[in-house]
A and B are shown apart, each in its own frame.
Chain A
């Protein structure tokens, strides 16, 4: 199946700025996910999105975060007011339509907050 494409590959922003990370996971998939990996730490689940609604979110996914699928194809993660500790790799993933449990990840977007 086609890969998951993420943009930008790297974004540098000032603390307090809004950031939007984008993912193109192919329009006929139903399950989408965002994960985060702080340097040297584990890949952490942020949020799952099913049928255009949030299905589950972790404790990390607080009010600063939001997800959207604005045009049926792109899948975005917005961080409203970035903090230094938001610096991480952010991975988008899509589930297989044969079962949500098999995930295909994008290459990630590296976010650096200064």
Chain B
């Protein structure tokens, strides 16, 4: 069964804090793991994606996948008010399968 679990929040942190966003998934066949950011009334925007286990860093953002525990994380360093949005984790198998999203975590960065 395709399923991705994500705490919807809201998660409120002060500006400059390190943010940790997490998801778990159930299907061990998933190979690609994505984080999308969605502002209110906008479409999801790809932040990062990783293949299989490991870390990937892009500026203030670090994505981490642990396939042994089926755990996906996104860390945001030096958080800014402009980071306030809903963050969606997503997973997908190989080929043209549909991307399965979590519910999204609503993040609020307080100035």
- Interfacial residues, chain A to chain B (CB-CB below 8 A): 4, 31, 33, 41-48, 50, 55-56, 58, 91, 93, 95, 100-108, 110
Contact = CB atoms under 8 A, between A and B. Distances in A.
B2 to A, nearest CB: 9
B32 interface: yes
A50 B45 CA distance: 21
Contacts of B95: 100
A101 B43 contact: no
A45 B93 CA distance: 14
25 contacts: A31-B96, A33-B99, A42-B103, A42-B104, A43-B44, A45-B98, A45-B99, A45-B100, A45-B101, A47-B98, A50-B96, A91-B43, A93-B43, A95-B96, A100-B95, A101-B32, A101-B34, A101-B92, A101-B94, A101-B99, A102-B46, A102-B49, A103-B46, A105-B36, A108-B41
B60 interface: no
Given A105-B45, A108-B42, A55 B96 contact: yes
A61 to B, nearest CB: 10
B42 A107 contact: yes
Closest 4 A/B residue pairs (Cβ): A45-B98, A105-B43, A55-B96, A42-B103
Contact of A104 (B46, B49, B94, B103): B46
B101 A43 contact: yes
A43 B88 contact: yes
A95 to B, nearest CB: 7
B49 A101 contact: yes
B58 interface: no
